[in-house]
């Protein structure tokens, strides 16, 4: 396999999680009697441009199909994050009724609805029918297509270049990152701004966040690598912010390469941090497998210990990261009988691979469990605040990443 960005041969493995089904391929009752598709889940690192990437087995149309079950609006914290972003961008970029905001992977309208309320014209691009329909019901125009250079050029010829192009947690999801970035260039108005948010590879490594690895994530990104990809497409990263979302993310601000805006000091600061932290040192990547194995083994030991002691452990949050963790650890219903989730689209279905049933949170609370394992650790504070008063006093919350922790 060759690097998806620079084309150099990939010779080094960052992480090997064996075989797993796509992490968002939730199952119905009927699906349980049919064969389930598994794909290798192995991550490579390019020692030329340092792009960390999956081996390419699963096709995008298999991963992001009409029944794709991730709806961004499920998390109140994420809705607040999106609302604050919209307010900040309106002020920072002086967006008005003559502007155009394009969101790539607009999901269920969680973000663009804020621009609609402000009277700022917007366009969502979202290939999954289930989430696109939810956005359209909010009055958001949506193109149900995958974004790339061809679509962007078509928009440009229609006079639909954007003052702001935004993409939250999509940059890592695209199989052809070069084509996607050229699309950003083509769809951006002269003087316009691109913002992309993505989990920071540095945090993944330092916090042992191996459960954020799944087939839908084709790339795992550092600022240094994103800067290279942008430069190749005729774009430039002129600012960057660190965010607490998804275990530690970056928000990069991009513009055309010839834009007169100067780079901020934050760009150089984070590039220096990445270098000093070893993101251009091959050993940083080749030693990561041991961290993942330690997290897996500690979780298994905990679950087995509780089962032997007659304790009840259930899970909260049917998140993709939870599927990666449970499938790598080989956890089934004998150790974890159910997982609760607030998303109606997931309730009544089953976790891929493990076949753990997904229930309404009320069903979890009725069990009076001894422990609740929070699979989406990135929103653990929100989950604990919502559930603590509704569970028995003795119920404890458990996190497996970055290490086993009981609250």
Q: Which domains does the chain have, with CATH numbers?
A: 72-285 (3.40.50.150), 289-406 (3.40.50.720)
**Nearest-CA neighbor of 225 among 55, 53, 12, 50?**
50
The answer to whether 3 touches 10, Cβ cutoff 8 Å, is yes
- Distance CA(14)–CA(325), nearest Å, equals 17
The answer to whether 274 touches 222, Cβ cutoff 8 Å, is yes
**Nearest-CA neighbor of 168 among 245, 240, 230?**
245
3-state secondary structure of 88: helix
Per-residue pLDDT of the chain (407 residues; tens, 9 = 90+): 999 999 999 999 999 999 999 888 899 999 999 999 998 999 999 999 999 999 876 554 555 554 554 666 667 888 999 999 999 999 999 999 999 999 999 999 999 999 999 999 999 999 988 889 999 999 999 999 999 999 999 999 999 999 999 999 999 999 999 999 999 999 999 999 999 999 999 999 999 999 999 888 999 999 999 999 999 999 999 999 999 988 899 999 999 999 999 999 999 999 999 999 999 999 999 999 999 999 999 999 999 999 999 999 999 999 999 999 999 999 999 999 999 999 898 999 999 999 999 999 999 888 889 999 999 998 999 899 988 888 888 899 999 999 999 98
- Distance CA(248)–CA(124), nearest Å, equals 25
Looking at residue 350, the DSSP 8-state letter turns out to be B
Helical H segments across 309-391, by residue range: 320-329, 361-366, 380-387
- Distance CA(389)–CA(330), nearest Å, equals 32
What is the pLDDT at residue 245?
A: 84
Residues with Cβ < 8 Å from 22, sequence gap 6 or more?
Answer: 37, 39, 58, 62, 63, 214, 215, 216, 352
The answer to whether 203 touches 274, Cβ cutoff 8 Å, is no
**Nearest-CA neighbor of 65 among 322, 345, 327?**
345
**Nearest-CA neighbor of 331 among 361, 347, 351?**
351
End-to-end CA distance of the chain: 43
The answer to whether 66 touches 128, Cβ cutoff 8 Å, is yes
**Helix 288-308 with 320-329: angle, nearest 10 deg:** 80
**Nearest-CA neighbor of 176 among 317, 59, 72, 350?**
59
pTM above 0.85, yes or no: yes
Tell me the HSE value of 290 on the side-chain side, using a 13 A CA sphere: 5
Which backbone phi and psi does 276 adopt, to 5 degrees? -70, -20
- Distance CA(221)–CA(212), nearest Å, equals 12
- Distance CA(284)–CA(142), nearest Å, equals 41
């Amino acid at each position: 396999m060759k690097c998806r960005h620079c084309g150099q041969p990939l010779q080094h493995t960052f992480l090997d999680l064996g075989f797993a089904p796509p992490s968002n391929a939730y199952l119905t009752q009927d699906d349980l009697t049919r064969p389930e598709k598994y794909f290798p889940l192995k991550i490579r690192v390019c020692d030329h441009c340092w792009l960390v990437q999956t081996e390419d087995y699963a096709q995008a149309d298999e991963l992001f199909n009409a029944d794709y079950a991730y709806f961004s609006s499920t998390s109140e914290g994420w809705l607040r994050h999106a609302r604050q972003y919209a307010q900040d961008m309106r002020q920072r970029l002086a967006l008005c009724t003559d502007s155009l905001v394009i969101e790539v992977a607009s999901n269920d309208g969680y973000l663009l609805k804020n621009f609609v309320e402000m009277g700022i014209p917007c366009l969502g691009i979202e290939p999954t029918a289930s989430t696109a329909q939810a956005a359209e019901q909010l009055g958001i125009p949506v193109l149900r297509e995958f974004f790339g250079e061809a679509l962007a050029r078509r928009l440009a010829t229609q006079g639909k270049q954007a003052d702001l192009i935004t993409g939250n947690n999509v940059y890592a999801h695209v199989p052809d990152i070069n084509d996607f970035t050229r699309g950003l260039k083509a769809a951006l108005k002269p003087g316009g701004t691109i913002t992309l948010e993505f989990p920071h590879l540095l945090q993944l490594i330092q916090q042992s966040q191996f459960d954020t690895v799944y087939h839908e994530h084709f790339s795992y990104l550092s600022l240094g690598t994103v800067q290279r990809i942008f430069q190749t497409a005729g774009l430039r990263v002129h600012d960057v912010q660190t965010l607490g979302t998804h275990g530690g993310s970056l928000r990069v601000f991009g513009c055309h390469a010839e834009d007169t805006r100067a780079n901020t000091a934050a760009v150089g600061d984070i590039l220096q941090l990445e270098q000093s932290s070893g993101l251009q040192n091959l050993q940083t990547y080749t030693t990561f497998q041991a961290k993942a194995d330690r997290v897996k083994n500690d979780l298994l030991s905990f679950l087995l210990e509780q089962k032997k002691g007659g304790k009840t452990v259930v899970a909260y949050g049917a998140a993709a990261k939870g599927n990666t963790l449970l499938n790598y650890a080989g956890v089934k219903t004998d150790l974890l009988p159910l997982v609760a989730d607030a998303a109606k689209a997931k309730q009544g279905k089953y976790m891929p691979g493990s076949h753990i049933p997904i229930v309404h949170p009320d069903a979890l609370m009725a069990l009076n469990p001894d422990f609740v394992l929070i699979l989406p650790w990135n929103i653990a504070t929100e989950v604990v605040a919502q559930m603590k008063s509704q569970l028995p006093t003795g119920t404890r919350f458990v996190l497996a990443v970055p290490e086993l922790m009981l609250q």
